[in-house]
Structure 1
Amino acid sequence: MKTVAAISLFILTGIVTALWFGFDLSEATDSLNYDDEQEGIEDKVVIKFSHVVAENTPKGRAARRFASLIHERTDGDIKVEIYSNGTLYNDQNEYDALKNGHIQMIAPATSKLTERFPKWQVLDLPFAFPNYQAVEEAYEGTIGRTLLDQLEPNVKGMTFWYNGYKQMTSSDQPMILPSDFNRTHVRIMPSPVIESQFHALGASTTQMPFNKTYNNLEVDFINGQENTLSNIYSKNLYKEQDYLTISDHGYLGYVVLMNDEFWSKLSNEHQAIITQALEETTDWIKRHSIEINDTHLRQIKRTASLDVHYLTKKQRVLWKEAVTPVYEETEPIVGESLMQEIYRLQEKYQ
């Protein structure tokens, strides 16, 4: 019994010693250190902004500028997380992701909405806008308001962003005359008007996500594509092409969309800050998109061996004549009022 008692005493002594020397019981009674990073964490608002182009393009730079303005004016209460280059969603599934609330903000090319909302095809008409002033009046006037009204529930149209006129590239021959499009296989965005335009010129087409364009040029599945100079340069498309035609045959712009359920839950103060930041960013991209595209053209000329051709007035007339049937096909789809507005802008700025 003495042995058992001695062992029990030894174990008890060890436990008491461990508690006394091995643990600082004062720490257990003190309050936890304050973590200021956790302050108001439930009040933070996160906007996931997904887009598919490079960060050094007009849209990429505008997205970063918008995010910076929001951070500055909300003291970090709203954080805009930007996912560029299609890292989160590509241009085929970003709209559904927005509508279902998986992301809060996207800025797709207007052409990407034409299959869902046919009236949006009016913006894809070839040679629709004679100059940048015509584009601005279309986006900020009757055409823009009409198109934003077409959007479905839970998708809120915020503004239009600018990029630039589209140009043609090819690996087989320079695209100068309409006949040069014969036997050319061109990558296009999913727009019936764009498809009709290239068919009218004699080319075959394939619709594919923007971020798959380079690989398909590389393996010669396609041998031509249309895009702005900023996209041609930033995605290295020019490295797989031999000819560049400055054609200005169509305009590529974006519409900034937000999940409406997310928007409606924001405070009035936050809504006002976002609206103001978008207005300032839209003004910035309107002024700087031309400069960015011009800079990228100069960089292409310095670093590539492309044959660059500028359409003459006579060649432009031939292109316009070739695509005239596209206007006739499109009017019953977009409606007479929108077509008349296009004709008005053309007459005003021609």
Structure 2
Amino acid sequence: MINRFTKLLLCVLLTVAVAVATTACGGSNAQGGGDQEKIVVKFTHVVAESTPKGQAALKFEELLEEKSGGLFDVQVYPSSQLYGDKEEQEQLLANNVQLIAPSVTKLVTLNPSFQLVDMPFLFKDDAQAYRFFDGEAGKKLLNSLEPHGILGLAWWANGTKHFTNSKRPLKAPEDFKGLKFRTQSGGVLDDQFKALGAGSQTLAFSEVYQALDNGTVDGQENTFNNIDTQKYVEVQKYLTISNHGRLDYVVLTNTKFWNSLTPEQQEMFSEAMAEATAYERQLADELSAASFENIKQSGKVEIYELTEEDKAKFIEALQPLYEKYGAEVGQEYIDAARNS
């Protein structure tokens, strides 16, 4: 017969076995049962939350967390709170962040084809640019970064560029002769002004207002929103609506992070990004229109809009840029942009 002590021991062992079995069946995040472990996505950018880029980043956070039922935890860091312009690409490659949205021109060192947005009078308007971005050529350009460990996910708009200066109306190529303009980088932009008979000087964005004010440079090129918010109308007398170039962003992730996601998770990510992109472009278009109204209402600048005849003269004057940079940018991209 089983004595009392043996019965007690059996009861204890049975209780422990049940407890262990319950824990194993219940599962934990690490074992993949029950609730899944959250996937953290850090999104760092350098502009304010109030901008189209800032608002679109928050919209992406909302959309992806909703679509995934909380599986993704998107953390947005605006205004260089986490990393600045110089560090963010390096941190992306290290997978310390999973999303950045730099200016397109920041990618030229990785692939010269991204100079496409600087090519003068290539896109007639925003709609044409968006068609290129969303078409096969635009997608191919985004995918071209994969050998560098980076994957382009979307093109986010900032807007088209226009000329301002303090000396005279700019209606024809010859009006640029002898003037000096601020540029954000060399290469295409320096040669653009050289072809028009003007000089150029590379200056940081934060230094432009002072340079215009003290006459270090006579003019600059920028979006309506930057012209408005940076108060260039206080130090410039003339604005030419030219739509001659673009300032845009590219949303990037790293291949290590992307390849760690399941196909279903990648699909959720892509859907959220597509919706956030449409939202960002709408905001950018609305903000551009509002800023143009502010510029007009200020009454401080004389505004001239290039006619189609005017643009034809500029296109002819700037043709040498296409001869010099066409092969470097890629004729297939230039042709795709023109035909979008």
TM (norm. structure 2) is 0.78
Q: Whole-Å Cα distance in 1 between the matches of residues 57 and 188 of structure 2?
A: 28
Equivalent in the alignment of 2:136? 142
State which of 113, 119, 124 in structure 1 corresponds to 2:118.
124
**Is 1:257 the counterpart of 2:252 in the alignment?**
yes
Amino acid of the residue matched to residue 185 of structure 1? K
SS at 1:48 equivalent: strand
Q: Whole-Å Cα distance in 2 between the matches of residues 252 and 320 of structure 1?
A: 19
The answer to whether the 8 Å contact 1:91/1:210 transfers is no
In the TM superposition, what whole-angstrom CA distance separates every residue of 1:299-339 from its partner, at most 9, and x where no partner exists? 22224512222122332222212111111111221333333
Q: Whole-Å Cα distance in 2 between the matches of residues 201 and 236 of structure 1?
A: 26
Q: Closer, same or farther in 2 for the Cα pair 1:307/1:214, shift >3 Å? A: same
Equivalent in the alignment of 2:218? 223
The answer to whether the 8 Å contact 1:54/1:235 transfers is no
Q: Closer, same or farther in 2 for the Cα pair 1:344/1:266, shift >3 Å? A: closer
- Equivalences for residues 178-197 of structure 1 within 5 A: 178-190=173-185, 192-197=187-192
Q: Closer, same or farther in 2 for the Cα pair 1:131/1:101, shift >3 Å? A: same
SS at 1:292 equivalent: helix
TM (norm. structure 1) is 0.76
In the TM superposition, what whole-angstrom CA distance separates every residue of 1:37-85 from its partner, at most 9, and x where no partner exists? xx99x9554433333444443323322322332344444851322323x
Q: Closer, same or farther in 2 for the Cα pair 1:295/1:209, shift >3 Å? A: same
Q: Whole-Å Cα distance in 1 between the matches of residues 100 and 198 of structure 2?
A: 31
Q: Closer, same or farther in 2 for the Cα pair 1:284/1:77, shift >3 Å? A: closer
Q: Whole-Å Cα distance in 1 between the matches of residues 163 and 210 of structure 2?
A: 17
Q: Closer, same or farther in 2 for the Cα pair 1:47/1:244, shift >3 Å? A: farther
Q: Closer, same or farther in 2 for the Cα pair 1:142/1:223, shift >3 Å? A: same
Amino acid of the residue matched to residue 245 of structure 1? T
Bigger mean CA deviation after superposition, 267-276 or 174-183: 267-276
Equivalent in the alignment of 1:291? 286
Runs of 4 or more, structure 1, over 6 Å off, are none
Mind listing any 5+ residue stretches in structure 2 that lack a counterpart? 1-28, 31-35
- Equivalences for residues 1-350 of structure 1 within 5 A: 43-73=37-67, 74-75=69-70, 77-84=72-79, 86=80, 88-151=82-145, 152-190=147-185, 192-266=187-261, 270-303=265-298, 305-345=300-340
The answer to whether the 8 Å contact 2:182/2:217 transfers is yes
The answer to whether the 8 Å contact 2:104/2:247 transfers is yes
Deviation at 1:90, TM superposition (A): 4.3
Q: Whole-Å Cα distance in 2 between the matches of residues 215 and 80 of structure 1?
A: 35
Which protein is bigger by CA-based radius of gyration? 1
Equivalent in the alignment of 1:34? none
Deviation at 1:255, TM superposition (A): 1.1
The answer to whether the 8 Å contact 1:122/1:330 transfers is no
Deviation at 1:117, TM superposition (A): 0.9
The answer to whether the 8 Å contact 1:54/1:234 transfers is no
Q: Whole-Å Cα distance in 2 between the matches of residues 300 and 49 of structure 1?
A: 33
SS at 1:199 equivalent: helix
Q: Closer, same or farther in 2 for the Cα pair 1:261/1:237, shift >3 Å? A: farther
Bigger mean CA deviation after superposition, 290-299 or 103-112: 103-112
Q: Whole-Å Cα distance in 2 between the matches of residues 102 and 287 of structure 1?
A: 30
Q: Closer, same or farther in 2 for the Cα pair 1:239/1:224, shift >3 Å? A: same
In the TM superposition, what whole-angstrom CA distance separates every residue of 1:170-207 from its partner, at most 9, and x where no partner exists? 23333322223233332223362222212211222233
Deviation at 1:341, TM superposition (A): 2.6
SS at 1:225 equivalent: strand
Bigger mean CA deviation after superposition, 276-285 or 175-184: 175-184
> How many residue pairs were aligned?
305
- Identity across matched positions, percent: 34
SS at 1:297 equivalent: helix
Mind listing any 5+ residue stretches in structure 1 that lack a counterpart? 1-38, 346-350
Cα RMSD over matched residues?
Answer: 2.9
Deviation at 1:107, TM superposition (A): 1.5
Deviation at 1:219, TM superposition (A): 4.4
